[in-house]
Amino acid sequence: MQRFRTNIRILLFYSINNLIKFKPFMELLNYVFERAPYSVVELINRHVKIPNKQFDWTIKLYNGENVVTRIKKGNEKTMHIALGYKWHDRGLNVLENIMVNFLNKNHRKESIFIDCGANMGMRSLTALSKNMRVVMIEPNDETNQINLERCRMNNFTNYELLTFGVSDKDEQKKFYFDSSSYLSTLNADIASEDKVKITNVMTIEVRKLDTIFSYLIGTKTKAYIKMDIEGHEIEALAGADELIKSISPTFMIEINEKNEHIQLIFNNMRSKGYTVFEKSEPDSSNRFLSICPLNVLDFNFISDDFLFVKDSEILDLIKPYCN
């Protein structure tokens, strides 16, 4: 019986892969993929090969909004962004929806979504779809062109795209471009690791967040800052010291390097009054946040994503989602 089921599955996906070469079936796959349960999405993502041709894919966001993005022939990255929102990280989708809804409802004129290391812009989609003010910061020209095209296709207007990096000084630094773009970094040690395939090295402009957002210091702005900058987190946070003192932004930071690196970040942010949460995937009760222990040198994390909150309103907001 198990062998029979396996053969049926092979036949099914073989048929799908042949049919989706035709536009009507591609449109059907798009519709099903964006509405299917996660288990089905995983199967499709594993077994279905998207045709190497241009197609406008409609992403259905967690908040119910639709965002159109273009899959381009010969550009695998554009396919990744089309499929990635649905299967890549449900926890971030839920959190962004919670934060954007809250900020739009209660602080619409004084809130901002800041995407440091925007890459292909997936994490900005929720805020953009609700016309929240968005600043994307990304030095990669290739991914920036993808982001700009998507913004034009969806008539997004309340955004800026800044083409440099973030650090602890306003200067020039070497930027190492990974072949996939996902691991591109300012950190030379990260760039030398086996998993990173460097295709180009360029000298780019980097800025402190304090410099970029000096106009926010002393205001009542509610800022949500997503940071995915491949090992350069300590420097970027040092460059946001005045911003942190003034408006206490909420941070969602991807931290891949653990041990002493993550302990330093946690200690630094806790000294400034932040509570640190590890983000996981939502359970049946939609809980996906856990407070991190004080000593994490030997702690076994299940995620690379961490939420840093000081704002009392935000702490109250996320209580129902904490384990």
* Secondary structure (DSSP) of 225-285: EEE--TT-HHHHHHTTHHHHHHH--EEEEE----THHHHHHHHHHHHTT-EEEEE----TT
Q: With CA atoms as reference, report the closest residue to 143 among 102, 111, 175.
A: 175
Q: Looking at residue 9, what is its pLDDT?
A: 61
- Single residue among 56, 88, 120 that ends a domain in this structure: 88
- Single residue among 60, 88, 116 that ends a domain in this structure: 88
Q: Looking at residue 72, what is its pLDDT?
A: 94
Q: What distance in Å separates the CA atoms of residue 234 and residue 276, rounded to the nearest whole number? A: 15
14: CB partners within 8 A, 6+ apart: none
CB-based burial label for 140 (10 Å; 0-12, 13-18, 19+) = buried
If asked whether residues 68 and 109 sit together in one domain, one would say: no
Q: What is the pLDDT along the chain (323 residues), one digit of tens a residue?
A: 556 556 556 666 667 788 898 999 999 999 999 999 988 898 888 888 899 999 999 999 999 999 999 999 999 889 989 999 998 888 999 999 999 999 999 999 999 999 999 999 999 999 999 999 999 999 999 999 999 999 999 999 999 999 999 999 999 999 888 877 777 888 887 777 777 788 888 899 999 999 999 999 999 999 999 999 988 999 999 999 999 999 999 999 999 989 999 999 999 999 999 999 999 999 888 899 999 999 999 899 999 999 999 999 999 999 999 99
If asked whether residues 52 and 106 sit together in one domain, one would say: no
**Cα dihedral 184, 185, 188, 194 in deg (nearest 10):** -40
Q: Looking at residue 18, what is its pLDDT?
A: 85
If asked whether residues 275 and 129 sit together in one domain, one would say: yes
Would you say 126 and 252 are in contact if contact means Cβ atoms under 8 Å apart? no
If asked whether residues 138 and 59 sit together in one domain, one would say: no
If asked whether residues 95 and 83 sit together in one domain, one would say: no
Could you tell me the pTM of the whole model? 0.92
If asked whether residues 81 and 133 sit together in one domain, one would say: no
Range of the domain at 298: 90-321
Tally the domains of the chain: 2
Could you tell me the CATH number of the domain that includes residue 184?
A: 3.40.50.150
- Single residue among 88, 109, 143 that ends a domain in this structure: 88
If asked whether residues 14 and 60 sit together in one domain, one would say: yes
Would you say 292 and 276 are in contact if contact means Cβ atoms under 8 Å apart? yes
Q: What distance in Å separates the CA atoms of residue 133 and residue 127, rounded to the nearest whole number? A: 7
If asked whether residues 237 and 146 sit together in one domain, one would say: yes
Would you say 245 and 237 are in contact if contact means Cβ atoms under 8 Å apart? no
If asked whether residues 103 and 84 sit together in one domain, one would say: no
CB-based burial label for 5 (10 Å; 0-12, 13-18, 19+) = exposed
If asked whether residues 75 and 102 sit together in one domain, one would say: no
If asked whether residues 142 and 247 sit together in one domain, one would say: yes
* Encoded amino acid at 39, one letter: S
Q: What distance in Å separates the CA atoms of residue 164 and residue 20, rounded to the nearest whole number? A: 39
Q: With CA atoms as reference, report the closest residue to 161 among 134, 136, 182.
A: 136
- Strands 198-207 and 171-178, by their bridges, are antiparallel
If asked whether residues 32 and 159 sit together in one domain, one would say: no
Q: Looking at residue 184, what is its pLDDT?
A: 83
